[in-house]
Structure 1
Amino acid sequence: MTTPPPTTDWLRLDQQICFSLNAASRAFGGVYRVILKDLGLTYPQYLVMLVLWEHGDLPVKKLGEHLRLDSGTLSPLLKRLESAGLVRRERSARDERSVEVRLTEEGVALRERALEVPRRIAAATSFDMDEIRELRARLDELTTALDSAQLDENS
């Protein structure tokens, strides 16, 4: 275990994990913007498509749970994807309060073109697959810990 910096250094920008995560996220955003341009998707739209390709038709609420997005954020994304002809939103026959999101034929076909995206992202990181899996696992642990800390604060 390394010794933490003296408390006088704790407020330095280079000591802030949140800044490092934000900087990495912004850098990823730039790389994704270039790579996804060929697919005609933004990064948030790409995430929606990933969930639908993995799980198939889903209620908006369930889609939001997978993406950690509320319906107010998700609705405009879905509207743009629908305008692009990639998804269709329909009221559920079982529960008319629920809206189902379905891939169109064009949305299903886009999956083939998207298969290159993860390879290009991995190449941009210069990490090997083990390093990527390890980083992903650590970030998932961090997310879980932070979610728990928020729950503890709200209790």
Structure 2
Amino acid sequence: MHSKNSPLSRLSLRNPIHFCALGFGSGLMHPAPGTWGSLAAVILGALLQPYLSPVLFIILTALCFVFGCYFCQKTADDMGVHDHGAIVWDEFVGIFIVLAALPDFSWYWYLAAFGLFRFFDILKPYPIRYFDQKLENGFGIMIDDVLAAIYAVIVLRLIVAFV
């Protein structure tokens, strides 16, 4: 149970915006809500990808980004905290970007996508950390994970090219 003054006490999973921003509840898991959100995103992506064409999956990912800018901003505003750890919709979008670049739908590629994304999301190499610290809106919450995903995609494509 969260205290009356906790940012999480200001949210409701019955609110569809909060529910999405919290990664369908995965952002409430501890420790490391970003890792739990990323894992939930990999599972969801693995369930969706075989049924969607690559183009539809990319369109879905782009829509998740656009809506995510609003979901994350609204939820952060409602919590009174910018980019609270429980907000993991950005991890969903980041993981989806990496999954869209996989050469096939096998468990080891999903595991590589998860590991590489988490590595870059946690490490935040330049310019990820810069944007994470400077942009204080929904786009700012989303963009650092998009950039982490781009780093992960580059590494994945290098692995595919050289292995």
- Is the structural similarity TM-score above 0.5? no
Relative CO higher for 1 or 2, CA cutoff 8 Å, sep ≥ 6? 2
Larger Rg: 1
Provide the TM-score with structure 1 as the length reference: 0.25
Provide the TM-score with structure 2 as the length reference: 0.25
